[in-house]
Amino acid sequence: MLFKHEGEESAFLLKCPECDGEIEIPDDVISGEIVSCPDCGMDYEVEVTQEGEIRLKPAEIEGEDWGE
């Protein structure tokens, strides 16, 4: 889903696939850029297709070992 940010000409909003929060995407975004969800902190790599469609794919997050 792609939304125009209210009162904002230079950004779009995408829904976060993890938490349904809103991620702001600058309109000059390029493929490979990393964006982060402000609600859940999930990182996504932006993919801009030849047709100009913007897709998000989860970026690698380093895990932590708490002695499990």
**3-state DSSP assignment of residue 61:** coil
Residue 66 C-beta: closest distance to another protein, Å: 10
Q: Is 34 in the site for another protein (CB under 8 A)?
A: no
Give the binding range for another protein (CB under 8 A) out of 2-10, 23-31, 32-40, 46-54: 32-40
Contacts of 39 (CB under 8 A, 6+ apart): 16, 19, 21, 22
In the list 14, 25, 42, 56, the residue contacting another protein (rule: CB under 8 A) is 42
**DSSP 8-state class, residue 68:** -
Q: Is 3 in the site for another protein (CB under 8 A)?
A: no
